[in-house]
Amino acid sequence: MENSTKNKQENSADQPQAYLERPTSPDQGYEIARKALGILKEAGHEARLAGGCVRDRLLGLVPKDYDIATTAHPEAICLAFKQKGVKTVPTGIDHGTITVVMKGVALEVTSLRSDVETDGRRAKVVFGISFREDAARRDFTMNAMYEDEQYGLYDYFGGAEDLSKKVLRFVGDPLLRIREDYLRILRCFRFWARFQFRPDDETLLALKQEANGLAQLSQERVCTEIIQILSEASIENVVEAMLSCGVLEQVLGFRPSLKTIAQIDAYKSITKAERSGARLALLLLEYPRKDELGEYLKAFRLSGRQIQQILLWLVPPSSVNVGKDLATPMQVLDRWQRAWPQQDLTEALAVYQLLYPDASEPRVLAVTEKDFGMRRRQPMPLKGHDLSKDLGLAAGPLLGQLLQHLLESFRNGEWQTQKEGLERAREYLANAGTRPT
């Protein structure tokens, strides 16, 4: 039972340890969350901002959403807001969470709760205990703080100090806390990736020891966390730790190589969604069952376009044996375009060059999709019958090979006029040991 957890730094007085600053720039979410605190107080309940939003405020960041913890039970939460004409939605009523919508902003209002029974995935909860007990069921010390209406900060487990030291520490014994809910392993890596805070040694050990427990979770929950981790910049160290703890192998189903994972950081203008897609592709480069990759990727809840993009990087159209044959980017683009005519290939090409660095000759590195598209539309000024006429070549396999060679070199910008093309053809035939007439 969680309320028996005792932490070294547990702070016993239930009064603020410090006061937070009011936001200097307007933050509508914060103002609305404070109004919600007022409504609950007026109805006779205690209420505080809780968890991630308090952490973000301490870090000087604008929270992306606000959560409230209150002594009110779920029905009382609904009643208090309904009396003020505010819409409530019982999103997670079994766990005491009511979504309150004020001026278009959604707030999660949750009854104080304690997890009395856990099985690694779900918890049975009881409501209306103390803020301290509510804090004790939260994952990390930095996520277990509260702020009241007077800007008072309640920090029962030394979260503010851990924040200043940039340390990720579980509330209580990491091993026990992970066994209650294995998703916490991935949450730990997610916060590490986001804030670059390191778990302490005891926590790292526990992550490693319990990595197998991730198998109990649904693929969807795991994949949602993975995608969030991969969307952050500069996470090489985090992904390396996930690999050495056995977490990556557990969630991906095979042991990936991390050769190129850091290179995506070179692309500064990339969006979070693009970054996570590209990183996932880098991780899956050596995925052993490429023909099942489309099915495998479904669990990651990516958009159809992202899935198509990853397949495009990793499952080359049948005629291209990229990676082994070291096709030039131009050749690859050519095949991609035939297979996926609707796709914008600029980003795909940039990432392709990371995936298969050996395939990128400096000469063609600068190829962009626009450039490529332009050359594609330009017809080659030499046809089979020109070659037969001028070089006396009969139809057959050699003529086919020559045409293919000419097309690729033409698209690579290696020749332009018919005269240059014929010279190129003569060279090719000479190298092939065939004398043109």
Which residue ranges make up the site for Mg ion (CB under 5 A)?
Answer: 52
Identify which of 342, 335, 357 has the alpha carbon closest to the alpha carbon of residue 411: 335
Which range, of 183-191, 279-287, 331-339, 413-421, touches ligand ATP by CB under 6 A? 183-191
Secondary structure class of 178 (helix, strand, coil)? helix
Q: If you write DSSP's letter for every residue of 364-421 in order, what string do you get?
A: GTT--HHHHHHHHHSPPS--HHHHHHHH-PPSSHHHHHHHHHHHHHHHTTS--SHHHH
Q: How far apart are CA 142 and CA 56, in angstroms?
A: 9
- The closest residue (CB) to ligand ATP is 52
- Answer for the pair 260, 354: CB distance below 8 angstroms, yes or no: yes
Q: How far apart are CA 91 and CA 74, in angstroms?
A: 11
Q: How far apart are CA 183 and CA 219, in angstroms?
A: 11
Which range, of 71-79, 182-190, 394-402, 411-419, touches ligand ATP by CB under 6 A? 182-190
> With binding defined as CB under 6 A, does residue 51 bind ligand ATP?
yes
- Answer for the pair 415, 341: CB distance below 8 angstroms, yes or no: no
Handedness of CA 308, 311, 317, 323 (dihedral sign): positive
Q: How far apart are CA 411 and CA 14, in angstroms?
A: 73
> With binding defined as CB under 6 A, does residue 206 bind ligand ATP?
no
Q: Which does 115 bind (CB under 5 to 8 A by kind): ligand ATP, Mg ion, none?
A: none
Secondary structure class of 209 (helix, strand, coil)? helix
Residue closer to ligand ATP (CB basis): 59 or 395: 59
- Least CB distance from residue 142 to Mg ion, whole Å? 13
Task: Rule CB under 6 A: choose which of 2, 133, 139, 210 binds ligand ATP.
Answer: 139
Q: Which does 48 bind (CB under 5 to 8 A by kind): ligand ATP, Mg ion, none?
A: none
User: Distance between alpha carbon 426 and the CA centroid of its chain, in Å?
Assistant: 52
Residue closer to Mg ion (CB basis): 52 or 96: 52
Identify which of 318, 319, 313 has the alpha carbon closest to the alpha carbon of residue 297: 313
Residue closer to ligand ATP (CB basis): 143 or 309: 143
Which range, of 6-14, 84-92, 149-157, 178-186, touches ligand ATP by CB under 6 A? 178-186
Q: How far apart are CA 133 and CA 10, in angstroms?
A: 11
Phi, psi of 431 (to 5 degrees): -65, -30
Residue closer to ligand ATP (CB basis): 112 or 144: 144
- Least CB distance from residue 139 to ligand ATP, whole Å? 4
- The closest residue (CB) to Mg ion is 52
Which range, of 91-99, 137-145, 317-325, 418-426, touches ligand ATP by CB under 6 A? 137-145
Secondary structure class of 23 (helix, strand, coil)? coil
> With binding defined as CB under 6 A, does residue 134 bind ligand ATP?
no
Q: Fill in the DSSP letter of residue 292.
A: G
> With binding defined as CB under 6 A, does residue 64 bind ligand ATP?
yes
- Least CB distance from residue 50 to ligand ATP, whole Å? 7
Residue closer to ligand ATP (CB basis): 97 or 309: 97
Amino acid letter, residue 361: E
137: buried, middle or exposed (CB in 10 Å: 19+, 13-18, 0-12)?
buried
Binding track over 83-122 against ligand ATP, x by CB under 6 A: ----------------------------------------
Identify which of 160, 276, 151, 301 has the alpha carbon closest to the alpha carbon of residue 222: 301
- Answer for the pair 79, 88: CB distance below 8 angstroms, yes or no: no
Residue closer to ligand ATP (CB basis): 55 or 424: 55
Within residues 222-241, the interface with ligand ATP by CB under 6 A covers: none
> With binding defined as CB under 6 A, does residue 143 bind ligand ATP?
yes
> With binding defined as CB under 6 A, does residue 183 bind ligand ATP?
yes
> With binding defined as CB under 6 A, does residue 411 bind ligand ATP?
no
Q: Which residues are 113's β-sheet partners?
A: 127
315: buried, middle or exposed (CB in 10 Å: 19+, 13-18, 0-12)?
middle
Q: Which does 139 bind (CB under 5 to 8 A by kind): Mg ion, ligand ATP, none?
A: ligand ATP
Residue closer to ligand ATP (CB basis): 51 or 96: 51
Site of interaction with ligand ATP (CB under 6 A): 51-52, 64, 67, 138-139, 143-144, 181, 183-184, 187
